Structure 1
């Protein structure tokens, strides 16, 4: 069973325009979408400002005019550093546009910087999408086809075999089981050995798989989960700092305070005072 928190099932029912398109407009310091994955390809074109995309274990900074490609079955999340940013997001299934390319399992280069052809295509798509005049879907679809061909010709990084593609997906599905377990048990003290046993791997193999997929060791990830839960509780003022630290799995209050400051740049007590 796939994780409801990390696996995102995309259902795009419009057969004539099988695309999800929107603009992320953010002006505060925040992860504006959390880590997840899906079979669809996701394009992020920076219209204004800058953003950082986390793809697996890599953090990719992008600024105005840059395109970030999230390939199929790739964990990703988006961060805004507080500078106002606008990012055009386009999500689609390659099979709906170019079946031959989809069958080849092409992996595109993650970051494309300053490509005049892409700039022109994205400008046309953004204009049509914002104005939504009659026939805009057809024009956007045509421009997207142009973009796909351009990416295939100029920015194909590798071609996966069917076995490699299936392995990539299965790896994420196995990891989902671990992530679900952490979400349900983050208040407890969980060992790497315990997590490895869930998906029947050696501890060393599990640690390698986790860090390769999530970009951090399991303990760091668990602490991030606890920090986010603690922040939500502090914002809702659901107890003292000590009580909240205990409720998210920290037995050492001073350690909790240090971790919280490292993660959010302020003390937990400052959140309660706001």
Structure 2
């Protein structure tokens, strides 16, 4: 399997734990004299509407054309300038997190200019939602719809990266997160959990895969992923339980065995705690 697909898979598995918060959004028009030196404190997307924007990071110049989407990571200094005709773009500041990990996207090479031909549909949808949100602010659901469209844009960027169709170039292959919280170290752990859901998984077994003590492993895992190893295992088991029930091929007893529960009662109790419904009544 492609490394990117393996990496991005964690965002699928933990999608129900992801929270997205829009902080501010606005449309800006700049003349030819505009130059901006800045580093954002949160995630930032620019939807270029007209003109050409030049972004310089670490001495490398990047160009964004109308229809392109520009993705900035927090804490990365840049210089931006307009072309000789000025520029106009919609920006949005947002937070994207899993559990307590507010910078989960920093582990992936997403920061850069996404060409319009790769994200045209999602960018247009967001632009329309933005216009509607400004014109019809009193209409219930407008802000929620804008958030849904932003989610679609981010999901598309993640999909493009996972499929190997896009890699951000702003960081030039570097990671903006410290090594001690990098998800790459945990890849063997994710694989082991997926392959051993049929049995009781011990935390010390997982720690052994990365060669560190159990205590430090728990700290490292939570810092990297925003949740504890136990929460991760529980989430994966509940994901699989839902899939097995939807397939309608297995009994409750069989699913309990497939997921390493000692008996159907223990599995049912765990399932109901998560989904608020017994597995026998799940639809």
Shorter-chain TM-score bucket reads: 0.3 to 0.5
* Bigger radius of gyration among the two: 2
User: Normalising to structure 2: TM-score of the pair?
Assistant: 0.46
